[in-house]
Chains A and B, each alone.
Chain A
Amino acid sequence: MSEAKSEILMFQVGPRVFAAEVYDVIRIGSVHDVPPEDVVGATALGVPFARRRGIVVGDHAAGTERALAVDQVIGIRSVPETDVHPLPAFAAACLQSAAVTGFVLVDDSPTLLIDLPTLVREGPAAPADAERT
């Protein structure tokens, strides 16, 4: 019997690696291929060092596409659904961003699972938030 799997996109912003559902991604490209006003740089995840790549996601509320600037797209991992965990209730109640939805255990280490449409909708993080990341 085959185990149910989730397709996870791994990407890096600043010094940290994050994960997101592949389903949410429309395409990946250079940030220079996207109009500057549609590029989201600083978010709750922090500020990318170099803004090399853009992960394009749909902003369903606005009916547009926006690109999250990242330093590196690491690749796609197929992980068992049993390795995908929701955010602990207390952490969810304390975070200032609704874009952090849970964790994926990658090599037994929890990697933050990010809801990309929510992240680009939230837009730039307040300076204090970015400092904490």
Chain B
Amino acid sequence: MPGPREQQADAQGGGGRAATPPEAWFFCLRILGGRYAFEAPLVTEVVRLGPLTRLPAAPSFLPGVFTHRGEVLPVLDISQLVGHSAVAIRPSTRAAIVHCGPWKVAVVSDAVEGLVAIPRRALEPPPAESTGVAEFMSAVARDRAGAIAILDLPRMVEAARARAVPAGSAPA
């Protein structure tokens, strides 16, 4: 029988085995009247949106950019990406700054709920629909506050980029 130290080492991946913790951590936002979450490690910080500078010839899901600590960050409106109305941007509006591969964007939301832990066994497959936001769901779950849709945010950001007509290929 392994002692407590060995059990702890196993749980931390000791002995060369990658242990899977029983809970997955997600970062939860309120958008589209619901709770949407994505992998917590993607989020670096939550900020209050400064004044937006709108971009010419930008797709609707890219409402503008703002400066944060001297860095100019693009804002991604998931709601518009999936064909819904824009998230209302007010002085109190907050955004989660996320890294998705090469892209760093601020995901704007109606409200920020924060970190939620969901037992992995509670994660269920997403609905079979392939339209709207369902297209980007990787799982659904439920906690004490209600249902949560888990989004595949890197895929969503990449889809946004792909849907925009890149510079240089716009019609003349």
Using CB atoms and an 8 Å cutoff, list the residues of chain A in contact with chain B. Answer: 16, 44-46, 85, 87-98, 100, 102-103, 105, 108-112, 122-123, 125-126, 129, 132-133
Contact = CB atoms under 8 A, between A and B. Distances in A.
Contacts, number: 104
Given A88-B72, A112-B56, A94 B160 contact: yes
Contacts of B60: 132
Nearest to A125: B57
23 contacts: A44-B57, A85-B71, A88-B105, A89-B103, A93-B103, A94-B74, A94-B160, A95-B167, A96-B57, A96-B166, A103-B53, A105-B67, A109-B51, A110-B53, A110-B72, A112-B55, A123-B172, A125-B56, A129-B56, A132-B56, A132-B59, A133-B56, A133-B57
Contact of A126 (B76, B105, B171): B171
Interface of B: 51, 53-60, 62, 65-67, 70-74, 76, 102-105, 157, 160-161, 164-168, 170-172
B167 A89 contact: no
Contacts of A85: 71-72
